[in-house]
Amino acid sequence: MQDGLLPLFPLQVVLLPGSQLPLHIFEDRYKEMIGEVLREEVEFGVVLASEKGIVNTGCTATVDRVLREYSDGRLDILTRGRRRFEILLLNDERSFLRGAVEFFDDEQAEPAAPDLLQSVIAGYNELQSITSSDPLEPDGAGDPRLSFRLAQDVPDLGFRQTLLVTRSEAERMRRIADFLPGYLQRRRKVQHTKDVAGRNGHGHRSEQT
């Protein structure tokens, strides 16, 4: 991997900077790719894949640790999102896809307005309470890329990809503020349905036999 090309891993996933992503590596081409990544301690790129191909903006990942090695060469690894990039040119000379890429970061340093920030954090904490997860720690509000952290548990791939390509923290926060109310409403309905099903529709939980 000395030619400046970034190894690419197309997945039905949008990796965000700072997010953890566990992966099970089982295809020979990706065993080869991750083997080189581990030996050379370099990044690889995660890009969203669909039936139409791959998007041209992704996020690099590094391997935090190898969770398990199998006798047939398969691996369970834990990775973490690092840097955003745009693909300039694809290269298929090897068994796995590679690309010439350009890395980018935010172009606007404008922080989110305090009232917007508090609104988004309140919505995030409500979402965490629905999923029985921990709320945002008080010192987390000062994170300059807090938007990526707040979006980690949102599974909507289109929304995640929109955040990934947006080059302004304030704009990402505005997008999250617009997205959260409808998403929270859907999650409340799902949780309510689960609660009713758990009570067997009669105000008490059904006994397991």
* Domain hosting residue 183, numbered range: 114-198
Residue 67 maps to a domain? yes
Per-residue pLDDT at 2 exceeds 70: no
Whether 203 is in a domain gets the answer no
Read off the CATH number of the domain in which 84 is found.
2.30.130.40
Span of 9-13, 156-160, 201-205 with lowest mean pLDDT: 201-205
Please tell me whether residues 93 and 136 are part of one structural domain: no
Domain membership flag for residue 194:
yes
Q: Model confidence over 19-28: pLDDT tens digits? A: 999 999 999 9
Chain mean pLDDT for the chain = 90
**Secondary structure of residue 41 in the 3-state scheme:** coil
In a shared domain, residues 40 and 89? yes
209: confidence class by pLDDT, cuts 50, 70, 90: very low
pLDDT score at 206: 44
Distances (CA, A) of 204 to 47, 155, 189, 196, 201: 46, 31, 19, 9, 7
Residue 163, φ and ψ in degrees, nearest 5: -65, -40
35-92: per-residue pLDDT in tens? 999 999 999 999 999 888 999 999 999 999 999 999 999 999 999 999 999 999 999 9
Interacting residues of 46 by C-beta distance below 8 A, sequence separation 6+: 8, 9, 11, 13, 15, 21, 58, 59, 60, 61, 79, 81
Does residue 209 belong to any structural domain of this protein? no
**pLDDT: which is higher, 154 or 198:** 154
Confidence of residue 101 (pLDDT cuts 50, 70, 90): very high
Phi-psi region of 155 (alpha: psi -120 to 50; beta: other; left: phi over 0): alpha
Of the candidates 169, 50, 54, which has an alpha carbon nearest to the alpha carbon of residue 120?
Answer: 169
Residue ending a domain, choose from 83, 104, 125: 104
User: Which of the four pLDDT bands, split at 50, 70 and 90, describes residue 165?
Assistant: very high
73: left (phi over 0), alpha (psi -120 to 50) or beta: left
DSSP output for 94-114: SSS-EEEEEEE--SB-PPPPH
How many structural domains compose the chain? 2
Using one digit for the tens of pLDDT, what is the confidence trace for 113-153?
889 999 999 999 998 888 778 888 776 777 888 999 999 98
Q: Pairing mode, if any, of strands 44-50 and 6-11?
A: parallel
